A and B are shown apart, each in its own frame.
Chain A
Protein backbone atom coordinates (compact mmCIF):
# COMPACT_ATOMS: atom_id res chain seq x y z
CA UNK A 1 0.00 0.00 0.00
CA UNK A 2 1.48 3.36 -1.04
CA UNK A 3 0.85 5.80 1.79
CA UNK A 4 2.32 9.28 1.52
CA UNK A 5 1.62 12.92 2.20
CA UNK A 6 1.96 16.04 0.04
CA UNK A 7 2.85 19.48 1.29
CA UNK A 8 2.28 23.02 0.03
CA UNK A 9 -0.48 22.08 -2.42
CA UNK A 10 -3.78 23.96 -2.40
CA UNK A 11 -6.99 23.13 -4.24
CA UNK A 12 -7.88 26.56 -5.60
CA UNK A 13 -11.06 25.73 -7.50
CA UNK A 14 -13.38 23.06 -8.87
CA UNK A 15 -15.81 23.15 -11.78
CA UNK A 16 -17.94 20.38 -13.28
CA UNK A 17 -19.99 20.05 -16.43
CA UNK A 18 -22.72 17.60 -17.44
CA UNK A 19 -24.74 17.36 -20.66
CA UNK A 20 -28.12 19.12 -20.47
CA UNK A 21 -29.69 16.03 -22.06
CA UNK A 22 -31.26 14.12 -19.15
CA UNK A 23 -32.35 10.48 -19.41
CA UNK A 24 -34.60 8.97 -16.75
CA UNK A 25 -34.07 5.38 -15.70
CA UNK A 26 -37.88 5.19 -15.34
CA UNK A 27 -37.93 5.28 -19.15
CA UNK A 28 -35.43 2.42 -19.50
CA UNK A 29 -37.80 0.10 -21.29
CA UNK A 30 -35.25 -2.60 -22.08
CA UNK A 31 -36.23 -4.22 -18.77
CA UNK A 32 -39.63 -4.87 -17.13
CA UNK A 33 -41.31 -2.28 -14.90
CA UNK A 34 -40.69 -4.50 -11.88
CA UNK A 35 -36.98 -4.87 -12.67
CA UNK A 36 -36.78 -1.13 -13.30
CA UNK A 37 -38.08 -0.37 -9.80
CA UNK A 38 -35.59 -2.79 -8.25
CA UNK A 39 -32.79 -1.31 -10.37
CA UNK A 40 -33.53 2.26 -9.26
CA UNK A 41 -33.90 1.22 -5.62
CA UNK A 42 -30.66 -0.76 -5.67
CA UNK A 43 -28.45 1.61 -7.64
CA UNK A 44 -30.10 4.82 -6.43
CA UNK A 45 -29.73 6.17 -9.97
CA UNK A 46 -32.90 7.96 -11.07
CA UNK A 47 -31.51 9.84 -14.04
CA UNK A 48 -28.38 10.20 -16.12
CA UNK A 49 -26.85 12.74 -18.46
CA UNK A 50 -25.85 11.79 -21.99
CA UNK A 51 -24.28 13.94 -24.67
CA UNK A 52 -26.72 14.35 -27.52
CA UNK A 53 -24.44 14.53 -30.54
CA UNK A 54 -20.76 14.19 -31.30
CA UNK A 55 -19.29 15.88 -28.19
CA UNK A 56 -16.04 14.54 -26.70
CA UNK A 57 -14.42 14.77 -23.29
CA UNK A 58 -12.21 17.64 -24.49
CA UNK A 59 -15.28 19.61 -25.66
CA UNK A 60 -16.89 19.44 -22.20
CA UNK A 61 -13.58 20.00 -20.41
CA UNK A 62 -12.81 23.09 -22.47
CA UNK A 63 -15.98 24.86 -21.25
CA UNK A 64 -15.44 23.86 -17.60
CA UNK A 65 -11.76 24.84 -17.70
CA UNK A 66 -12.31 28.23 -19.41
CA UNK A 67 -14.97 29.13 -16.84
CA UNK A 68 -12.84 28.09 -13.87
CA UNK A 69 -9.71 29.89 -15.12
CA UNK A 70 -11.71 33.05 -15.67
CA UNK A 71 -13.54 32.93 -12.30
CA UNK A 72 -10.25 32.29 -10.49
CA UNK A 73 -8.69 35.19 -12.37
CA UNK A 74 -5.73 32.99 -13.32
CA UNK A 75 -3.35 34.13 -16.01
CA UNK A 76 -3.26 31.30 -18.57
CA UNK A 77 0.46 31.81 -19.17
CA UNK A 78 1.09 30.74 -15.55
CA UNK A 79 -0.50 27.29 -15.94
CA UNK A 80 2.41 24.93 -16.32
CA UNK A 81 0.71 21.54 -15.98
CA UNK A 82 -2.43 20.01 -17.51
CA UNK A 83 -3.34 16.41 -16.73
CA UNK A 84 -6.42 14.72 -18.18
CA UNK A 85 -7.66 11.50 -16.63
CA UNK A 86 -9.98 9.70 -18.98
CA UNK A 87 -10.78 6.33 -20.54
CA UNK A 88 -12.67 7.87 -23.45
CA UNK A 89 -10.05 10.07 -25.13
CA UNK A 90 -10.80 12.03 -28.32
CA UNK A 91 -8.33 9.82 -30.20
CA UNK A 92 -6.25 6.75 -29.38
CA UNK A 93 -3.22 8.86 -30.31
CA UNK A 94 -2.26 11.64 -29.48
CA UNK A 95 -3.08 12.40 -25.83
CA UNK A 96 -6.23 14.53 -25.54
CA UNK A 97 -4.62 16.75 -22.85
CA UNK A 98 -2.20 18.08 -25.47
CA UNK A 99 -5.08 18.98 -27.77
CA UNK A 100 -6.67 20.75 -24.79
CA UNK A 101 -3.45 22.65 -24.05
CA UNK A 102 -3.75 24.23 -27.49
CA UNK A 103 -7.54 24.71 -27.41
CA UNK A 104 -7.26 26.46 -24.04
CA UNK A 105 -4.48 28.68 -25.33
CA UNK A 106 -2.01 27.54 -22.68
CA UNK A 107 1.68 28.23 -23.08
CA UNK A 108 4.09 25.81 -24.79
CA UNK A 109 5.91 25.69 -21.44
CA UNK A 110 2.90 23.79 -20.08
CA UNK A 111 3.40 20.05 -19.51
CA UNK A 112 0.41 17.99 -20.67
CA UNK A 113 -0.32 14.28 -20.51
CA UNK A 114 -3.20 11.82 -20.14
CA UNK A 115 -3.71 9.15 -17.49
CA UNK A 116 -5.84 6.07 -18.18
CA UNK A 117 -7.88 5.57 -15.01
CA UNK A 118 -11.60 5.54 -14.23
CA UNK A 119 -13.34 5.28 -10.87
CA UNK A 120 -10.14 5.83 -8.85
CA UNK A 121 -8.97 8.61 -11.20
CA UNK A 122 -9.78 11.65 -9.08
CA UNK A 123 -7.79 10.46 -6.08
CA UNK A 124 -4.89 9.26 -8.27
CA UNK A 125 -5.01 12.52 -10.23
CA UNK A 126 -4.75 14.65 -7.09
CA UNK A 127 -1.73 12.60 -6.04
CA UNK A 128 0.03 12.91 -9.42
CA UNK A 129 -0.61 16.62 -9.90
CA UNK A 130 -0.07 17.32 -6.19
CA UNK A 131 3.29 15.53 -6.29
CA UNK A 132 4.46 17.59 -9.25
CA UNK A 133 3.41 20.81 -7.54
CA UNK A 134 4.92 19.78 -4.22
CA UNK A 135 8.23 18.92 -5.90
CA UNK A 136 8.41 22.33 -7.56
CA UNK A 137 7.90 20.99 -11.11
CA UNK A 138 4.73 23.07 -11.48
CA UNK A 139 3.22 26.08 -9.69
CA UNK A 140 -0.28 26.16 -11.16
CA UNK A 141 -2.02 23.14 -12.64
CA UNK A 142 -5.31 21.93 -14.06
CA UNK A 143 -6.37 18.37 -13.30
CA UNK A 144 -9.24 17.31 -15.53
CA UNK A 145 -11.26 14.13 -15.05
CA UNK A 146 -14.12 12.82 -17.10
CA UNK A 147 -15.57 10.37 -19.55
CA UNK A 148 -18.14 10.24 -22.29
CA UNK A 149 -19.12 6.76 -21.14
CA UNK A 150 -22.40 6.73 -23.07
CA UNK A 151 -20.51 6.30 -26.36
CA UNK A 152 -18.96 3.04 -25.21
CA UNK A 153 -22.06 1.34 -23.80
CA UNK A 154 -24.75 -0.69 -25.49
CA UNK A 155 -28.24 0.56 -24.50
CA UNK A 156 -29.30 -3.10 -24.59
CA UNK A 157 -26.88 -3.95 -21.77
CA UNK A 158 -28.92 -3.76 -18.54
CA UNK A 159 -25.78 -4.34 -16.47
CA UNK A 160 -24.13 -1.10 -17.65
CA UNK A 161 -26.48 1.22 -19.56
CA UNK A 162 -28.62 2.40 -16.61
CA UNK A 163 -25.54 3.18 -14.49
CA UNK A 164 -23.15 5.36 -16.43
CA UNK A 165 -23.43 9.03 -17.19
CA UNK A 166 -21.29 11.61 -19.01
CA UNK A 167 -19.41 14.43 -17.25
CA UNK A 168 -16.11 16.25 -16.93
CA UNK A 169 -14.65 18.20 -14.02
CA UNK A 170 -11.71 20.53 -13.64
CA UNK A 171 -9.70 21.02 -10.46
CA UNK A 172 -7.26 23.90 -10.22
CA UNK A 173 -4.28 23.27 -7.93
CA UNK A 174 -1.47 25.59 -6.96
CA UNK A 175 1.68 25.80 -4.88
CA UNK A 176 0.89 27.44 -1.56
CA UNK A 177 3.48 27.48 1.18
CA UNK A 178 2.28 26.16 4.54
CA UNK A 179 -1.19 24.91 3.62
CA UNK A 180 -2.32 21.75 5.45
CA UNK A 181 -0.78 18.54 4.03
CA UNK A 182 -2.84 16.03 2.06
CA UNK A 183 -2.54 12.31 2.85
CA UNK A 184 -2.96 9.49 0.33
CA UNK A 185 -3.29 5.71 0.23
CA UNK A 186 -3.28 4.19 -3.28
CA UNK A 187 -3.62 0.56 -4.34
CA UNK A 188 -4.11 -1.65 -7.42
CA UNK A 189 -4.83 -5.30 -8.24
CA UNK A 190 -4.44 -6.43 -11.84
CA UNK A 191 -5.90 -9.84 -11.03
CA UNK A 192 -9.28 -8.20 -11.54
CA UNK A 193 -8.47 -6.53 -14.89
CA UNK A 194 -11.41 -8.24 -16.62
CA UNK A 195 -14.02 -6.97 -14.14
CA UNK A 196 -14.60 -3.79 -16.19
CA UNK A 197 -13.26 -3.98 -19.70
CA UNK A 198 -13.50 -2.95 -23.34
CA UNK A 199 -12.03 -5.97 -25.11
CA UNK A 200 -11.29 -4.79 -28.65
CA UNK A 201 -9.59 -1.79 -30.18
CA UNK A 202 -6.19 -2.05 -28.49
CA UNK A 203 -3.15 -3.96 -29.68
CA UNK A 204 -4.08 -7.20 -27.84
CA UNK A 205 -7.37 -7.48 -29.71
CA UNK A 206 -7.24 -5.14 -32.71
CA UNK A 207 -10.48 -4.09 -34.35
CA UNK A 208 -11.62 -6.96 -36.56
CA UNK A 209 -14.76 -8.00 -38.41
CA UNK A 210 -15.97 -9.52 -35.09
CA UNK A 211 -15.56 -6.31 -33.10
CA UNK A 212 -18.91 -4.72 -33.90
CA UNK A 213 -20.94 -7.93 -33.86
CA UNK A 214 -23.50 -7.81 -31.04
CA UNK A 215 -23.58 -10.81 -28.75
CA UNK A 216 -26.22 -11.78 -26.21
CA UNK A 217 -24.09 -12.53 -23.16
CA UNK A 218 -27.14 -13.35 -21.06
CA UNK A 219 -30.76 -12.28 -20.97
CA UNK A 220 -30.90 -8.48 -21.11
CA UNK A 221 -27.20 -8.10 -21.80
CA UNK A 222 -26.35 -7.50 -25.44
CA UNK A 223 -23.09 -5.77 -26.42
CA UNK A 224 -20.22 -5.84 -28.88
CA UNK A 225 -16.51 -6.16 -28.16
CA UNK A 226 -15.86 -2.41 -28.45
CA UNK A 227 -18.38 -1.69 -25.67
CA UNK A 228 -17.86 -1.83 -21.94
CA UNK A 229 -18.36 -5.17 -20.20
CA UNK A 230 -19.01 -5.00 -16.48
CA UNK A 231 -19.01 -7.84 -13.98
CA UNK A 232 -21.17 -6.28 -11.29
CA UNK A 233 -20.77 -9.04 -8.71
CA UNK A 234 -16.97 -9.04 -8.87
CA UNK A 235 -16.83 -5.26 -8.57
CA UNK A 236 -19.30 -5.35 -5.69
CA UNK A 237 -17.26 -7.94 -3.78
CA UNK A 238 -14.00 -6.13 -4.46
CA UNK A 239 -15.40 -2.83 -3.21
CA UNK A 240 -16.83 -4.34 -0.02
CA UNK A 241 -13.53 -6.09 0.66
CA UNK A 242 -11.02 -3.31 -0.10
CA UNK A 243 -12.47 0.18 0.32
CA UNK A 244 -13.06 0.30 4.08
CA UNK A 245 -9.62 -1.12 5.05
CA UNK A 246 -7.91 1.26 2.61
CA UNK A 247 -9.62 4.24 4.26
CA UNK A 248 -9.01 2.94 7.80
CA UNK A 249 -5.31 2.47 6.95
CA UNK A 250 -5.03 5.96 5.50
CA UNK A 251 -6.71 7.58 8.52
CA UNK A 252 -4.53 5.70 10.96
CA UNK A 253 -1.32 6.58 9.02
CA UNK A 254 -2.19 10.26 9.37
CA UNK A 255 -3.47 9.92 12.97
CA UNK A 256 -6.90 11.21 12.00
CA UNK A 257 -10.06 10.29 13.87
CA UNK A 258 -13.23 9.82 11.86
CA UNK A 259 -14.95 12.53 13.92
CA UNK A 260 -12.47 15.12 12.59
CA UNK A 261 -13.67 14.60 9.02
CA UNK A 262 -16.39 17.00 7.86
CA UNK A 263 -17.42 15.19 4.66
CA UNK A 264 -16.74 11.82 3.02
CA UNK A 265 -17.04 11.95 -0.74
CA UNK A 266 -17.10 8.51 -2.31
CA UNK A 267 -17.01 7.46 -5.93
CA UNK A 268 -20.68 7.20 -6.87
CA UNK A 269 -20.89 3.54 -7.89
CA UNK A 270 -24.31 2.43 -6.72
CA UNK A 271 -26.35 3.14 -3.62
CA UNK A 272 -26.38 -0.40 -2.20
CA UNK A 273 -22.60 -0.71 -2.52
CA UNK A 274 -21.87 2.76 -1.16
CA UNK A 275 -24.30 2.40 1.73
CA UNK A 276 -22.81 -0.99 2.68
CA UNK A 277 -19.35 0.64 2.74
CA UNK A 278 -20.66 3.63 4.72
CA UNK A 279 -22.19 1.33 7.35
CA UNK A 280 -19.00 -0.75 7.56
CA UNK A 281 -17.09 2.45 8.33
CA UNK A 282 -19.88 3.56 10.75
CA UNK A 283 -20.16 7.00 9.13
CA UNK A 284 -23.20 9.24 9.76
CA UNK A 285 -25.30 9.64 6.60
CA UNK A 286 -25.30 13.43 7.03
CA UNK A 287 -21.59 13.50 6.20
CA UNK A 288 -21.76 11.27 3.13
CA UNK A 289 -23.31 13.13 0.17
CA UNK A 290 -24.77 11.39 -2.90
CA UNK A 291 -25.14 12.83 -6.37
CA UNK A 292 -25.85 9.54 -8.12
CA UNK A 293 -29.62 10.00 -7.99
CA UNK A 294 -29.27 12.87 -10.47
CA UNK A 295 -25.98 12.25 -12.23
CA UNK A 296 -25.35 8.47 -12.07
CA UNK A 297 -21.86 7.02 -12.23
CA UNK A 298 -19.72 9.58 -14.04
CA UNK A 299 -16.51 7.52 -13.79
CA UNK A 300 -13.51 9.59 -12.63
CA UNK A 301 -15.72 12.71 -12.30
CA UNK A 302 -18.04 11.41 -9.54
CA UNK A 303 -16.14 13.02 -6.64
CA UNK A 304 -15.94 16.59 -8.05
CA UNK A 305 -19.48 16.26 -9.47
CA UNK A 306 -20.71 15.42 -5.94
CA UNK A 307 -18.77 18.34 -4.42
CA UNK A 308 -20.22 20.77 -6.98
CA UNK A 309 -23.74 19.36 -6.77
CA UNK A 310 -24.03 18.79 -2.98
CA UNK A 311 -21.38 20.67 -1.00
CA UNK A 312 -21.00 24.16 -2.51
CA UNK A 313 -22.79 25.93 0.30
CA UNK A 314 -21.31 23.90 3.15
CA UNK A 315 -17.76 24.38 1.89
CA UNK A 316 -18.16 28.14 1.66
CA UNK A 317 -18.55 28.29 5.47
CA UNK A 318 -14.85 27.88 6.23
CA UNK A 319 -12.05 25.32 6.17
CA UNK A 320 -13.22 21.71 5.96
CA UNK A 321 -11.54 18.34 6.12
CA UNK A 322 -12.69 15.90 3.43
CA UNK A 323 -11.95 12.27 2.70
CA UNK A 324 -12.22 11.16 -0.94
CA UNK A 325 -12.35 7.52 -1.96
CA UNK A 326 -12.36 6.12 -5.52
CA UNK A 327 -12.57 2.44 -6.47
CA UNK A 328 -13.22 0.35 -9.56
CA UNK A 329 -11.84 -0.36 -13.04
CA UNK A 330 -8.29 -1.71 -13.00
CA UNK A 331 -8.81 -2.83 -10.34
CA UNK A 332 -7.59 0.41 -8.84
CA UNK A 333 -8.55 2.16 -5.61
CA UNK A 334 -7.40 4.82 -3.23
CA UNK A 335 -8.36 7.39 -0.67
CA UNK A 336 -7.06 10.75 0.45
CA UNK A 337 -7.65 13.35 3.11
CA UNK A 338 -7.53 16.99 2.07
CA UNK A 339 -8.39 20.34 3.59
CA UNK A 340 -10.43 22.73 1.48
CA UNK A 341 -10.23 26.41 2.42
CA UNK A 342 -11.44 29.26 0.23
CA UNK A 343 -11.75 26.81 -2.64
CA UNK A 344 -13.80 28.34 -5.43
CA UNK A 345 -16.55 25.88 -6.31
CA UNK A 346 -18.57 26.89 -9.35
CA UNK A 347 -22.23 25.96 -9.82
CA UNK A 348 -22.86 22.94 -12.09
CA UNK A 349 -22.30 23.80 -15.75
CA UNK A 350 -24.33 22.28 -18.57
CA UNK A 351 -23.23 21.25 -22.05
CA UNK A 352 -25.93 22.17 -24.54
Chain B
Protein backbone atom coordinates (compact mmCIF):
# COMPACT_ATOMS: atom_id res chain seq x y z
CA UNK B 1 0.00 0.00 0.00
CA UNK B 2 1.33 3.41 -0.94
CA UNK B 3 1.19 5.77 2.05
CA UNK B 4 -0.79 8.96 1.43
CA UNK B 5 0.94 12.29 0.97
CA UNK B 6 -0.05 14.03 4.17
CA UNK B 7 1.42 17.15 5.72
CA UNK B 8 1.59 17.91 9.43
CA UNK B 9 -1.53 20.08 9.36
CA UNK B 10 -3.64 17.41 7.70
CA UNK B 11 -2.27 14.88 10.18
CA UNK B 12 -3.19 17.15 13.09
CA UNK B 13 -6.76 17.33 11.75
CA UNK B 14 -6.83 13.55 11.47
CA UNK B 15 -5.58 13.28 15.04
CA UNK B 16 -8.28 15.71 16.17
CA UNK B 17 -10.95 13.57 14.56
CA UNK B 18 -10.13 10.77 17.03
CA UNK B 19 -11.68 12.92 19.77
CA UNK B 20 -15.31 14.00 20.20
CA UNK B 21 -14.88 17.31 22.01
CA UNK B 22 -11.98 19.38 20.81
CA UNK B 23 -11.54 22.72 22.47
CA UNK B 24 -9.25 24.49 21.90
CA UNK B 25 -8.30 23.19 18.43
CA UNK B 26 -5.21 20.97 18.26
CA UNK B 27 -1.91 22.19 16.85
CA UNK B 28 1.15 20.11 15.95
CA UNK B 29 2.60 21.18 19.33
CA UNK B 30 -0.35 19.82 21.34
CA UNK B 31 0.83 17.52 24.14
CA UNK B 32 -1.90 14.98 23.52
CA UNK B 33 -1.23 12.74 26.51
CA UNK B 34 -2.09 15.62 28.84
CA UNK B 35 -5.57 16.05 27.32
CA UNK B 36 -8.46 14.95 29.52
CA UNK B 37 -9.90 12.85 26.70
CA UNK B 38 -6.71 10.85 26.20
CA UNK B 39 -6.67 7.28 27.53
CA UNK B 40 -5.71 3.75 26.50
CA UNK B 41 -8.80 3.36 24.30
CA UNK B 42 -7.99 6.56 22.43
CA UNK B 43 -4.54 5.08 21.82
CA UNK B 44 -6.20 2.15 20.03
CA UNK B 45 -7.96 4.58 17.67
CA UNK B 46 -4.60 6.21 16.96
CA UNK B 47 -3.01 2.82 16.21
CA UNK B 48 -5.93 1.88 13.94
CA UNK B 49 -5.71 5.23 12.10
CA UNK B 50 -1.94 4.98 11.59
CA UNK B 51 -2.30 1.38 10.40
CA UNK B 52 -5.13 2.21 7.95
CA UNK B 53 -3.67 5.46 6.58
CA UNK B 54 0.06 4.72 6.56
CA UNK B 55 0.29 0.91 6.72
CA UNK B 56 2.74 0.98 9.66
CA UNK B 57 2.53 -0.17 13.30
CA UNK B 58 2.59 2.36 16.09
CA UNK B 59 3.47 0.50 19.28
CA UNK B 60 3.82 1.07 23.02
CA UNK B 61 7.40 2.34 22.64
CA UNK B 62 6.46 4.76 19.87
CA UNK B 63 3.73 6.14 22.07
CA UNK B 64 6.05 6.45 25.06
CA UNK B 65 8.52 8.40 22.93
CA UNK B 66 5.93 10.84 21.59
CA UNK B 67 4.85 13.91 23.51
CA UNK B 68 3.26 16.06 20.80
CA UNK B 69 1.24 15.34 17.68
CA UNK B 70 4.27 16.39 15.66
CA UNK B 71 6.35 13.71 17.45
CA UNK B 72 3.84 11.09 16.31
CA UNK B 73 3.92 12.43 12.76
CA UNK B 74 7.75 12.40 12.65
CA UNK B 75 7.85 8.90 14.09
CA UNK B 76 5.57 7.69 11.30
CA UNK B 77 7.60 9.53 8.65
CA UNK B 78 10.76 7.81 9.98
CA UNK B 79 9.11 4.41 9.67
CA UNK B 80 8.16 5.20 6.09
CA UNK B 81 11.54 6.51 4.99
Point out residues on A near B: beta carbons under 8 Å: 35, 38-39, 42, 159, 231-234, 236-237, 240-241, 272-273, 276, 279-280
Contact = CB atoms under 8 A, between A and B. Distances in A.
B35 interface: no
Contact of B47 (A35, A38, A240): A240
B47 A233 contact: yes
B57 A272 contact: no
A233 B51 contact: no
A233 B45 contact: no
A231 B40 CA distance: 10
Contacts of A279: 52
Contacts of A233: 40, 43-44, 47, 59-60, 63
Contacts of A236: 44, 47-48
Given A232-B44, A240-B51, A272-B45, A35 B39 contact: yes
Interface in B17-55: 39-45, 47-48, 51-52
B42 to A, nearest CB: 8
Contacts of B44: 42, 232-233, 236, 272-273
Contacts of A240: 47-48, 51, 57
Give the secondary structure class of B's interface: helix
Given A233-B47, A233-B59, 18 more contacts: A35-B41, A38-B39, A38-B41, A38-B42, A39-B41, A42-B41, A159-B40, A233-B40, A233-B44, A234-B59, A234-B60, A236-B47, A237-B59, A240-B51, A272-B44, A272-B45, A276-B48, A276-B52
Contact of A232 (B40, B45, B52, B57): B40
A276 B60 contact: no
A311 to B, nearest CB: 26
A273 B48 CA distance: 8
Contacts of B60: 231, 233-234
B23 to A, nearest CB: 15
13 contacts: A35-B39, A38-B42, A233-B40, A233-B44, A233-B60, A236-B48, A240-B47, A240-B48, A241-B57, A272-B44, A272-B45, A273-B44, A280-B52
Contacts of B45: 42, 272
Contacts of A39: 41
A179 B50 CA distance: 43
Contacts of A273: 44, 48
Interface string B44-77: 1101100110000111100100000000000000
Contacts of A234: 59-60
A273 B52 CA distance: 11
Nearest to A219: B39
Contacts of B48: 236, 240, 272-273, 276
Contacts of B42: 38
Contacts of B40: 159, 232-233
Nearest to A231: B60
B80 to A, nearest CB: 16
A25 to B, nearest CB: 13
A232 B58 CA distance: 13
A236 B44 CA distance: 7
Nearest to B57: A237
Nearest to B51: A240
A232 B39 CA distance: 12
Given A276-B52, A279-B52, A237 B47 contact: yes
Contacts of B58: 237
A236 B60 CA distance: 11
A95 B39 CA distance: 40
A234 B60 CA distance: 7
